[in-house]
């Protein structure tokens, strides 16, 4: 989860690609909102590393996905057209993930963080990646709500994925995976 638009630096895009690459090297499927920006950079990184991706689109159709939402179709392995709009598809995206990684971000990313927190997800935050994600630790404390959510923060994209995977494996959290022989966890 992260900024789909706005001003994105080559450094921020590079961090997202590294995240995606590490997810793929672990044999996992990356799930994103099928949008441009940082999530798309992560998908590119995953595919460069030989991985698979699932896009959860806000659009009703392929045509709306490209025309109205100006979002990419390639190189996703599959895209689900939810027809639920930008905010509605976030719930499907988060429910389809064993843990959720945040990089950068603006108001939409804050909404995704709130959903993941309320759903008690394991949440990884790439610190110093631009945007609102640097504030998620403080925001979580402001919620004053026990949901079961666990935050893992790191400034290194490879270490963040490693730490989240270790936390997920050791915590015995419920899985969103239908076929455990295909992938070992989702992000």
- 65 located within any domain: yes
| pLDDT tens, position by position, 24-66 | 999 899 999 999 999 999 999 999 999 999 999 999 999 999 9
- 135 located within any domain: yes
Q: Which pLDDT band holds residue 3 (cuts at 50, 70, 90)?
A: very high
When pLDDT is averaged across residues 10-28 and rounded to a whole number, the result is 94
Does the structure show a pLDDT above 80 at 9? yes
Backbone φ and ψ for 113, nearest 5 degrees, come out as -60, -45
Q: Give the count of domains, the chain.
A: 1
CATH number for 75: 3.40.50.450
Alpha-carbon distances of 2 from 50, 61, 157, 184, rounded to whole Å: 22, 23, 13, 23
* Per-residue pLDDT at 171: 80
- 126 located within any domain: yes
| pLDDT tens, position by position, 59-115 | 999 999 999 999 999 999 999 999 998 888 899 999 989 899 999 999 999 999 999
- 71 located within any domain: yes
Does the structure show a pLDDT above 90 at 122? yes
- 165 located within any domain: yes
- 17 located within any domain: yes
**Residues 113 and 91 sit within 8 Å (Cβ to Cβ):** no
- 159 located within any domain: yes
How far the first Cα of the chain sits from its last, in Å, is 9
**Residue found by looking up tokens 């404390």 in the block:** 141
**Domain with 112 in it:** 10-171
**Residues 112 and 102 sit within 8 Å (Cβ to Cβ):** yes
Mean pLDDT of the chain: 91
61-67 long-range contacts (CB < 8 A, ≥24 apart) are 65/34
List of E strands, the chain = 29-32, 52-57, 78-81, 99-103, 122-126, 150-154
pTM of the model: 0.89
Does the structure show a pLDDT above 60 at 182? no
Alpha-carbon distances of 146 from 34, 84, 121, rounded to whole Å: 30, 28, 12
| pLDDT tens, position by position, 138-149 | 999 999 999 999
**Residues 39 and 145 sit within 8 Å (Cβ to Cβ):** no
């Amino acid at each position: 989860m992260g900024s789909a638009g706005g001003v994105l630096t080559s450094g921020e895009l590079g961090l997202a690609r590294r995240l995606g690459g590490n997810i793929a090297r672990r044999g996992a499927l990356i799930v994103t909102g099928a949008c441009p920006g940082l999530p798309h950079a992560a998908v590119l990184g995953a595919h460069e590393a030989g991985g698979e991706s699932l896009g959860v689109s806000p659009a009703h159709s392929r045509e709306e996905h490209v025309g109205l939402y100006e979002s990419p179709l390639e190189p996703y392995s599959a895209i689900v057209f939810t027809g639920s709009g930008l905010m509605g598809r976030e719930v499907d995206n988060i429910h389809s993930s064993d843990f959720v990684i945040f990089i950068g971000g603006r108001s939409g990313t804050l909404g995704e963080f709130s959903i993941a927190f309320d759903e008690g997800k394991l949440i990884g935050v790439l610190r110093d990646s631009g945007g609102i994600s640097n504030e998620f630790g403080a925001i979580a404390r402001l919620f004053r709500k026990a949901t079961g959510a666990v935050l893992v923060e790191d400034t290194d994209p490879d270490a963040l994925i490693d730490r989240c995977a270790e936390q997920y494996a050791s915590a015995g959290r419920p899985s969103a995976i239908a076929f455990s022989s295909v992938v070992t966890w989702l992000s």
